[in-house]
């Protein structure tokens, strides 16, 4: 059972956390996979080695999502190494939390460079490389729709921005049958937001199911969006949030 057999995917920020889980899942479903990373070459290569050992092609590419040229280069390199690209998952992101009086303009720029401009650069790569019927998927956040703690203005704004972006991309890509969607996780146990960390104590009371998700939970939805059953799902924000919005 390999619903993505013959497909080729690029996952930005695939060395750890949700992105690594997505890379592993797309490969398990039959896809060849390229991942990008910025600071963890060893972890990126470990993900690649695991996928190759399981019988798929995989490659790790150093590319800072905050650098538009690096993103462009990484999409081109992924396409040439894998022989094309069918799926791009713009997952790389940062979470800088600080109340507005403490957050700096540099925090604003870093957040928007990686979480918004980097996603737009990946979308330009999608326009150039994806065939008809391709998939463009952004990992946003439920914080686009609800921010129940202090310090989240920059993060929430960046994730709301990509929600608007995929609506526009869905229109741009639609005539070619390429879909553009954003997956909006609630809290997921990763280095960014550990289930035993201080933020978890603040967030867990907002969850209807009071448990952190794992990367593989998000990867399951991304795999479905990548597959044939989701061909008419586009311009959508798909929330997987343990009831954070309920
Ligand atoms: P982690 O911090 O655990 O992992 C981040 C990943 O992105 C790493 O692979 C990292 O690479 C990569 N990355 C970070 N910055 C850059 C950059 N500038 N260029 C390229 N790659 C980069 O984060 P998560 O897995 O938790 O988050 C992944 C996505 O999911 C983010 O967009 C985040 O906002 C979103 N999200 C996370 C939630 C959570 O609770 N964890 C909830 C909702 C959304 P490297 O290892 O090389 O540093």
Structure-token pair, residue 93: 């992101």
Question: Whose alpha carbon is nearest atom 32 of ligand 1?
Answer: 93
Classify residue 104: in a domain, yes or no. Answer: yes
CA–CA gap between residue 234 and residue 224 (Å, rounded): 13
CA–CA gap between residue 17 and residue 120 (Å, rounded): 22
Classify residue 3: in a domain, yes or no. Answer: no
> 170 CA distance to ligand 1 centroid (A)?
24
- The runs of H, that is alpha helices, within the chain are 17-28, 41-53, 68-82, 105-112, 118-129, 153-173, 198-203, 215-226
The answer to whether 155 is a known catalytic residue is: yes
Classify residue 61: in a domain, yes or no. Answer: yes
CA–CA gap between residue 32 and residue 27 (Å, rounded): 6
Classify residue 187: in a domain, yes or no. Answer: yes
pLDDT one digit per residue (tens) for the chain, 246 residues: 799 999 999 999 999 999 999 999 999 999 999 999 999 999 999 999 999 999 999 999 999 999 999 999 999 999 999 999 999 999 999 999 999 999 999 999 999 999 999 999 999 999 999 999 999 999 999 999 999 999 999 999 999 999 999 999 999 999 999 999 999 999 999 999 999 998 999 999 999 999 999 999 999 999 999 999 999 999 999 999 999 999
The pTM of the full predicted model, rounded to 2 decimals, is 0.99
Question: Whose alpha carbon is nearest atom 46 of ligand 1?
Answer: 40
Classify residue 2: in a domain, yes or no. Answer: no
Classify residue 128: in a domain, yes or no. Answer: yes
Domain range for 218? 8-240
Report the atom number in ligand 1 closest to the C-alpha of 191.
3
Classify residue 246: in a domain, yes or no. Answer: no
- We report the CATH number of the domain holding residue 119 as 3.40.50.720
The total number of structural domains that make up the chain: 1
Catalytic, out of 37, 155, 212, 232: 155
> 14 CA distance to ligand 1 centroid (A)?
8
> 16 CA distance to ligand 1 centroid (A)?
7
Classify residue 245: in a domain, yes or no. Answer: no
Q: At CA 191, angle to CA 185 and CA 192, rounded to 5?
A: 50
């Amino acid at each position: 059972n390999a619903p993505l057999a013959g497909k080729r995917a690029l996952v930005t920020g695939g060395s750890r956390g949700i992105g690594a889980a997505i890379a592993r899942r797309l490969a398990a479903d039959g896809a060849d996979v390229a991942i990008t990373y910025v600071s963890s070459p060893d972890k990126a290569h470990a993900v690649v080695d695991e996928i190759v050992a399981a019988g798929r092609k995989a490659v790790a590419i150093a590319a800072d999502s905050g650098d538009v040229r690096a993103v462009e280069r990484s999409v081109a390199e992924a396409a040439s190494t894998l022989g094309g690209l069918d799926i791009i998952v713009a997952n790389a992101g940062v979470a800088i939390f600080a109340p507005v009086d403490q957050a700096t303009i540099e925090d604003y720029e870093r957040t928007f460079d990686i979480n918004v401009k980097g996603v737009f650069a990946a979308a330009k790569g999608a326009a150039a490389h994806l065939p008809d019927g391709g998939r463009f998927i952004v990992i946003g956040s439920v914080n686009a729709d609800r921010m129940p703690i202090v310090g989240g203005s920059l993060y929430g704004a960046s994730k709301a921005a990509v929600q608007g972006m995929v609506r526009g991309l869905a229109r741009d890509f639609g005539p070619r049958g390429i879909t553009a969607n954003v997956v909006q996780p609630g809290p997921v146990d990763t280095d960014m937001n550990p289930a035993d960390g201080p933020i978890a104590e603040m967030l867990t009371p907002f969850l209807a199911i009071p448990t952190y998700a794992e990367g593989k939970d998000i990867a399951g939805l991304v795999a479905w969006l990548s597959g044939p059953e989701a061909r008419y799902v586009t311009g959508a924000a798909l929330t997987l949030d343990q009831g954070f919005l309920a």
